[in-house]
Amino acid sequence: MSETRKLPELFGSMVFNEQTMKERLSAASYGAWKRCVTGGTALDLSTANEIAQAMKQWAVERGATHFTHWFQPMTGVTAEKHDSFIAPIGGGRVLMEFSGKELVRGEPDASSFPSGGLRATFEARGYTAWDPTSFAFIKEGSLCIPTAFCSYSGHALDKKTPLLRSMDEVSRQAVRILRLFGDTTTKRVIPQVGPEQEYFLIDRELYRKRQDLRLTGRTLFGAKPPRGQELDDHYYGAIRPRVAAYMRDLDESLWELGIFAKTKHNEVAPSQHEMAPIYTDANTACDQNQLTMEVMKKVAERHGLVCLLHEKPFAGFNGSGKHDNWSLSTDSGENLFKPGDTPGENARFLLFLAAFLKGVDDYQDFLRATVAFPGNDHRLGGLEAPPAILSVFLGDELTAVVNAIIHDTPMEASGKRQLRIGVDVLPAIPQDTTDRNRTSPMAFTGNKFEFRMLGSSQSISGPNIALNTIMAEELRQFADELEPAADFQRALNVLMKRVFTRHRRIIFNGNGYDEAWIREAEQRGLSNFTSAADALPMYTAGKNVELFVRHNIYTEEEIQARAEIHVENYAAVTAIEARTMADMIRHEILPAVSGYAAELCDRIARKDARGMPCEYETRTAKEISALTDALFGACERLERDLDDLPKDPTRAMVYSHDVIVRDMADARTCADRLELLTASDRWPFPTYTQLLFSV
């Protein structure tokens, strides 16, 4: 990319966005598209044809030769199947072609994606359908069209369809509440999402020498290096030139795709960094985060680096998360989680807050399940990551307001005014005072909630589907209660007092890393699913299935299918890690340490013959030999236990967690000790010091 291109010209230059549509479509077609996006009306074929023509023209001018329906199967990654624009027209000549039909609907032969049993083989193909609310873009010579992926029987096979459904539903219920407050104009309420993305950058040459990183995305071995992250000097520290060059390139690549990458700083662990985009609607945010993860990896390649998105690439160092900043905004841009200037606005704010608190309390288990997968197990409850217990941080000021409502005590607001809901003005809640609790899994940060339990590699769609749907359910209950009330003001006060009283237990402003919190949470009756294997069964708990079915987000089959995929994934990922570990032990570690011990023995023999002392060699050789056998034993046990993996997916998950993960920990303990005893040049792969302090 040229150094001279200016941001305004660069930004979104590879996106067929609203501005471009306005310029390139007839007024009628542009209007039809706009109505489709804002009002949910269908596009007719002639409009689709015109949009397809304009899109193709625009893409070809920018060097595109192919198009693809870009979609998000239930694996959590993105998928694409490229077709060329080229159509033969005889005489060896070709025509660049792309019709409305091809824009609107595609048929990827995607029968190998997991469907959790939703797709019998006879209908294995499924189809993709254009999502006109997310802009098409050009990536590596292909016009990418964001699409939903469904089976012919209409089941959602992807992560976009239910997200769009949940956005519609929370909008519908939120508008009902707004009407009660006299808002007659808002047509839509849109969830807004800003995902902060953490990642590690390491040198590619070193990465290539680690089979565990290549096959599993994380290190399965690695002794604690002499220097860890105890100095905290990396956090917000000066960015090294190689990383700075990467970040500049990444920013520009994201800007081209219309992704407003805004902040960049170093994170707590060495080699760890973060990128945050400016927030946007949940659907776009989700598409863009998928794209961001892909671009991060690609750009790293250009710089001789590898971008690690795993939640816990290095034991003993901070893991990588993804903070999902979430709020609700009206179609005129009003944030419903912003305390307002008038009594009415404040009452509305408190009602949405009450709905959120109740929702997190009612559906703690489901929210936990949306972030449950093996990679995140190594992170949650670990260094600098929230515990596995859901709670909401509100900050002292807002908690005081909630308490005042619970106890009916008029509170001294700033400016010495008494606070009564619907009567007085809330004290201003400055964002800065609320956000400095980094230990909360769900923090109110002034005008949004920050869900911090997400793992860095996961799609943000699951957690946002959950937040939207849970919010929709609570708002539905509130609207059902308030709509028929003769005295709205009174009914509102009764409802808020009741809800805050019943759900106060979910508010926790203290230190989430504290051991004492785990005991207190238990006393409060909050759930604590320490591992994904414990949390995943909650996916299909009766009340959760009922929630999603009631709001038409998932059918019962769809939610069962998703649970099944997550459960199967747990055992599959664990088995890959275990086999990689066994492979590295047998082919790399054991030969290296046994050879090194033999070498020491030779030296001992030679020294002994000359009557020289050989304390160091003798003790080291002995310890290495003992550990070598222990490691060999641990490896054999791991392999044996892998052979006994149950067939049933749920049993396989539990077994993997109880048996395989334990075996792996035992093997690692031996191997990491061996690393410390072995000469650097005999250790078969790069160490933590080399991996973490070389970029």
- 279 binds ligand ADP, rule: CB under 6 A: yes
| All residues at 6 or more sequence positions from 416 whose CB lies less than 8 Å from its CB, including other chains | none
Report the distance separating Cα 125 and Cα 144, nearest Å: 20
Report the distance separating Cα 96 and Cα 94, nearest Å: 7
- 273 binds Mg ion, rule: CB under 5 A: no
Q: CA angle 629-578-307, nearest 5°?
A: 120
Q: Between 554 and 593, how does the x/- string for binding to ligand ADP read (CB under 6 A)?
A: ----------------------------------------
- 323 binds Mg ion, rule: CB under 5 A: yes
Of residues 202 and 276, the one with the C-beta less far from ligand ADP:
276
Sign for the CA dihedral angle at 456, 461, 462, 465 comes to positive
Q: Are 315 and 689 in contact (CB under 8 A)?
A: no
Minimal distance, residue 447 CB to ligand ADP, in Å: 5
Report the distance separating Cα 218 and Cα 578, nearest Å: 12
- 296 binds ligand ADP, rule: CB under 6 A: no
Q: Which does 276 bind (CB under 5 to 8 A by kind): Mg ion, ligand ADP, none?
A: ligand ADP
Tell me the chain's radius of gyration from C-alpha atoms: 28
User: What token pair was written down for 527?
Assistant: 């759930």
Sites for Mg ion among residues 179-208 (CB under 5 A): 196
Q: Which does 263 bind (CB under 5 to 8 A by kind): ligand ADP, Mg ion, none?
A: ligand ADP
User: What token pair was written down for 71?
Assistant: 């979609």
Of residues 74 and 460, the one with the C-beta less far from ligand ADP:
460
Report the distance separating Cα 104 and Cα 45, nearest Å: 9
Sites for ligand ADP among residues 327-346 (CB under 6 A): 327, 335
Q: Which does 192 bind (CB under 5 to 8 A by kind): ligand ADP, Mg ion, none?
A: ligand ADP
Give strand ranges (E) for 27-177.
66-71, 79-84, 86-88, 94-96, 105-106, 127-130, 136-139, 142-150
Of residues 66 and 323, the one with the C-beta less far from Mg ion:
323
- Residue 63 dihedral angles phi and psi, to the nearest 5°: 90, 5
CA contacts within 13 A on the Cβ side of 236: 0
Minimal distance, residue 161 CB to ligand ADP, in Å: 22
- 194 binds ligand ADP, rule: CB under 6 A: yes
- 276 binds ligand ADP, rule: CB under 6 A: yes
Q: Which does 277 bind (CB under 5 to 8 A by kind): ligand ADP, Mg ion, none?
A: ligand ADP
Which of 417, 406, 401, 354 has the alpha carbon at shortest distance from 177?
354
| All residues at 6 or more sequence positions from 174 whose CB lies less than 8 Å from its CB, including other chains | 189, 328, 336, 352, 471, 472, 475
Q: Are 130 and 70 in contact (CB under 8 A)?
A: no
- 275 binds ligand ADP, rule: CB under 6 A: no
Minimal distance, residue 29 CB to ligand ADP, in Å: 32
Q: Between 425 and 444, how does the x/- string for binding to ligand ADP read (CB under 6 A)?
A: ----------x---------
Of residues 120 and 278, the one with the C-beta less far from ligand ADP:
278
Q: Which stretch binds ligand ADP (CB under 6 A): 212-220, 243-251, 324-332, 463-471?
A: 324-332
Count of beta carbons in the 10 Å neighbourhood of residue 634? 23
Minimal distance, residue 478 CB to ligand ADP, in Å: 21
Exactly one of 29, 53, 288, 325 binds ligand ADP (CB under 6 A); that residue is: 325
Sites for ligand ADP among residues 440-469 (CB under 6 A): 447-448, 450
Minimal distance, residue 323 CB to Mg ion, in Å: 4
Residue of minimal CB distance from Mg ion?
Answer: 323
Q: Are 325 and 193 in contact (CB under 8 A)?
A: yes
Report the distance separating Cα 71 and Cα 630, nearest Å: 47
Q: Which stretch binds Mg ion (CB under 5 A): 94-102, 259-267, 316-324, 613-621?
A: 316-324
| All residues at 6 or more sequence positions from 626 whose CB lies less than 8 Å from its CB, including other chains | none
Q: Which does 397 bind (CB under 5 to 8 A by kind): ligand ADP, Mg ion, none?
A: none
Minimal distance, residue 277 CB to Mg ion, in Å: 12
List contacts with ligand ADP (CB under 6 A).
192-194, 196, 263, 276-279, 323, 325-327, 335, 435, 447-448, 450
Catalog residues that contact Mg ion under the rule CB under 5 A. 196, 323
